Amino acid sequence: MRLITGFFDEYTLDVHRVLDLAAGAGSLLLAADRVLPGPLTLVGVEQDAMVAECCRNDLADRMHASSDLAIFQGDGLDPEINTRLSHQFDRFDLVVGNPPFLSPRLRSLRYEGSNGVEWSKLRHSYPDITRATTDLSAYFVARAFGHLRVGGVCAMIVPISFLSSDGASQVRRVIEGQGEVLKVDRLPDDAFAASVATVCLWVRRSSEQTTRPNSDGMSWGSWIAESPRLELPPSLRVKDLARVTAGFRDEFYQVAAQVEEADNPPVVLADQGWHRVLTVGHLGWREPLWGHRPVRIGGRALLHPVVSSAALSSMKSAMRALLIPKLVIAPQKRVVAPWIDYEGSVVPLTPVISVLAADSSGLSLSLLAAALASPVAAAFLEHRCAGTALSAKALKFSARDVGEVPLPLNREAWERAGHLWPAWRAGRLWPYLDAIRDAYSVETSVWSELLDWWLPRIGQVVE
């Protein structure tokens, strides 16, 4: 109710028809009826017959006498029901909803068959928006948006991952082509019993046709990002000068099957035919915790995980191609913390991200590290990926995201930052920071705002 009132305090919208495609007890429809000048036509779809009946009776008792009500029992994503809604009511001025959330990843673990979601039917009915990871709620957003008149508004409560996930990218793309995001309200973490962070998304339809050049479903993470938005001039990206990869699941299994506990640590040298295996659990700000912290690989706890050269030579060439000097980065931390494997001897285990400078790039690994470790890269990734991490404070990024990080334009300052970067690892942070600010030419006021966000995240004592 508060969400709806808050919106109508800010925006004016002429509302006659309101729809909820997963109406439940009808509380959102009722809130709309209370807040908006009527009379309204309230329309809901509810899958559960008993809930639909309660919703019908309850709303009939509590809504304005002059409003109309139609509650349908059925699947709000069923194309037939939706065609019927369009014929009977034409377009809607307002579509509200807190639809069910359910990622395909979880369906086979807990839900397949038990909650009636037929994923193959959904894929078939909505081929254009379906990705391997499309959450059920994203289908409801797409469907809701499709029912809006031009100028109409849709308010949906969705998991925060809707803003950046690949699974919702096609839905974001449709909305960007035919409408706009008005605002995104972060909801309190305990807003729902489910342990999923949520937002309320407000979008307006501005056209029947796709009028804007279609983006590739760029992230909407900026709506909830806490770091300042950086206006950087066009520049090369990491992917232009380096290969960025996190390997593939089958490579993980190949290596995991061959990992052993080193017999005689810490003497593990590549020229003796052994390679240290690094996992996400080893990586942080400082030297990898290999040998200091046991990690689990393939169900086993290992303190000194190694893989032999002989085993590697029987694997895919992609694994051996990683045995060159490179950066390795854990994909889910509070900032980007690269570590340089100067010898090119460690084997990073998926999903650890490796950054390999192309031979022709003229880039040293310390230059790449200086750029990727910077507050600029962390803020860029927060805006690009906000909402996809398990914890609200962590940044979760893929190899593709790292490839998109912009590189500094001021080469002289960048080289300085590259020289100063190793000293930072020893605690001397400020000379590096001054150099990297110059390298990216960030304005002083934006820079101090950026540091206010970034410094608490690196969680280390610095001079």
- Tell me which residues touch ligand SAM (CB under 6 A): 20, 22-28, 45-48, 51, 75-77, 97-98, 100
Q: Taking the CB of residue 269, how many other CB atoms lie within 10 A of it? A: 12
Contact 89, 43 (CB under 8 A): yes
Could you give the CA distance from residue 436 to residue 432 in angstroms, rounded to a whole number?
6
Q: How far is the CB of 138 from ligand SAM (least distance, A)?
A: 13
Q: How far is the CB of 278 from ligand SAM (least distance, A)?
A: 43
Of 197 and 376, the one with the shorter C-beta distance to ligand SAM is 197
Contact 137, 101 (CB under 8 A): yes
Interior/surface letters 62-93, b for 16+ CB within 10 angstroms, e for the rest: ebeeebebebbbbbbbbeebbeebeeeeebbb
Q: How far is the CB of 9 from ligand SAM (least distance, A)?
A: 20
Q: Give the 3-state secondary structure of residue 238.
A: helix
Of 158 and 399, the one with the shorter C-beta distance to ligand SAM is 158
Q: Which residue number places its CB atom closest to ligand SAM? A: 24
Of 96 and 174, the one with the shorter C-beta distance to ligand SAM is 96
Of 196 and 218, the one with the shorter C-beta distance to ligand SAM is 196
Of 27 and 309, the one with the shorter C-beta distance to ligand SAM is 27
Q: How far is the CB of 87 from ligand SAM (least distance, A)?
A: 19
Distances (CA, A) of 306 to 257, 323, 353: 11, 14, 18
Of 45 and 373, the one with the shorter C-beta distance to ligand SAM is 45
Could you give the CA distance from residue 100 to residue 93 in angstroms, rounded to a whole number?
22
Q: How far is the CB of 37 from ligand SAM (least distance, A)?
A: 20
Q: How far is the CB of 116 from ligand SAM (least distance, A)?
A: 7
Distances (CA, A) of 34 to 37, 68, 252, 298, 357: 8, 13, 55, 56, 60
Q: How far is the CB of 150 from ligand SAM (least distance, A)?
A: 25
Contact 134, 183 (CB under 8 A): no
Q: Taking the CB of residue 38, how many other CB atoms lie within 10 A of it? A: 17
Beta strands at 68-73 and 198-205: parallel, antiparallel or unpaired: unpaired
Residue 153: strand pairing partners:
94, 204
Of 51 and 232, the one with the shorter C-beta distance to ligand SAM is 51
